Amino acid sequence: PLGCTTWDEWGIEICAHLCAKERLNLPYTPLETVRQVRNKARFREACVKGGVPAPRFANIHTKAQLEAALAEAPWTFPVILKPAKGAGSYYCLKSESEDHLLEAFPRLNESLLGEQRTPQEDAAAGWVLEEFFSGAEVDVDGWAQDGKVAWMLVCDNKPARGKGCCEAGGMYPSQLPADVVKLLEGLTSKVISVCPGIHSAFHFEALVDPVSKAVMPVELNLRIGGAECPCCVEAVSGVFLPLAAADLALARPMRPPGAPK
């Protein structure tokens, strides 16, 4: 084969496994980096080590571990509970109190472990509990080559709906002030740099306080964004991310952007 890539969250580790030097030896992000990024607890650890902002967080597998984490020191509520390896806001919970969190966890954990569509290894990674950061949510879509950001576009997300953090679309490109967009681009480059060797499209989610200019990574996905993302990015930039991902996989020169539609 000349190349190998995926547009699906559940195929990223398989793709990285196949592309490794000892197998097909094709251009792609190293398997260890993929595993680090897909596990949200390990991703937070990499951010802390690399000097990237991170909220207080804990990796949880059982209710007893949750109770122990809550007992260590007071947490600032609300908090976010989400699968350590997941996608699409499935089983995510925004909790306003310790009582609510402890009541909801067993039900969510049972559902995750029993989910037939989730790989067993992903479900076994447990949960990430983290303190909520209040700010405007943005997506940054683009690609990295050999560990460095080559192109990106910042867009705004509409406020998430409900306690499940359900996404509700956004605005392309971002309408935030230019200096805030520049700040988010810098954050994106920093996050990519602490995850060695990324060579793929990416969909990075972050939060920013436009007044204080404080920023916070949410998560990094080593694939193109889902739903309306590719069409909207192409409409305002002329860049069609699925083709960019294919060019990266095939080690072809990246084609210049077309005219915005």
Residues 210 and 155 in one domain: yes
Q: Which residue range forms the structural domain that includes residue 127?
A: 57-131
Exposed (0-12), middle (13-18) or buried (19+): which is 104, by Cβ within 10 Å?
Answer: middle
Distances (CA, A) of 142 to 17, 78, 104, 163: 22, 31, 36, 29
Residues 198 and 144 in one domain: yes
Residue 37 is encoded by which pair of tokens? 């990024």
Final residue in a domain of this structure, among 92, 108, 131 = 131
Domain CATH code at residue 62: 3.30.1490.20
Mean pLDDT by 10 residues, the chain (261 residues): 91 97 97 98 98 98 97 95 86 95 96 83 94 96 97 91 63 97 98 98 97 97 94 96 95 82 64
Exposed (0-12), middle (13-18) or buried (19+): which is 168, by Cβ within 10 Å?
Answer: exposed
pLDDT tens for 211-255 read 999 999 999 999 999 989 999 999 999 999 999 999 999 999 988
Distance of alpha carbon 9 from alpha carbon 46, whole angstroms = 20
Q: What is the pLDDT of residue 261?
A: 64
- What contacts 52, CB < 8 A, 6 or more positions away? 46, 187, 190, 191, 194, 217
Q: Is 63 contained in some domain?
A: yes
Q: What is the pLDDT of residue 254?
A: 87
Q: Is 172 contained in some domain?
A: yes
Residue type, position 168, single letter: A
Residues 61 and 92 in one domain: yes
Q: What is the pLDDT of residue 168?
A: 65
Q: What is the pLDDT of residue 75?
A: 97
Domain CATH code at residue 208: 3.30.470.20
Q: What is the pLDDT of residue 22?
A: 96
Distance of alpha carbon 249 from alpha carbon 99, whole angstroms = 48
Q: Is 27 contained in some domain?
A: no
Residues 137 and 103 in one domain: no
User: Phi and psi at residue 97, in whole multiples of 5°?
Assistant: -155, 160
Final residue in a domain of this structure, among 131, 160, 193 = 131
Final residue in a domain of this structure, among 76, 105, 131 = 131
Q: What is the pLDDT of residue 260?
A: 74
pLDDT tens for 138-151 read 999 999 999 999 99
Residues 65 and 101 in one domain: yes
Number of domains in the chain: 2
Residues 191 and 91 in one domain: no
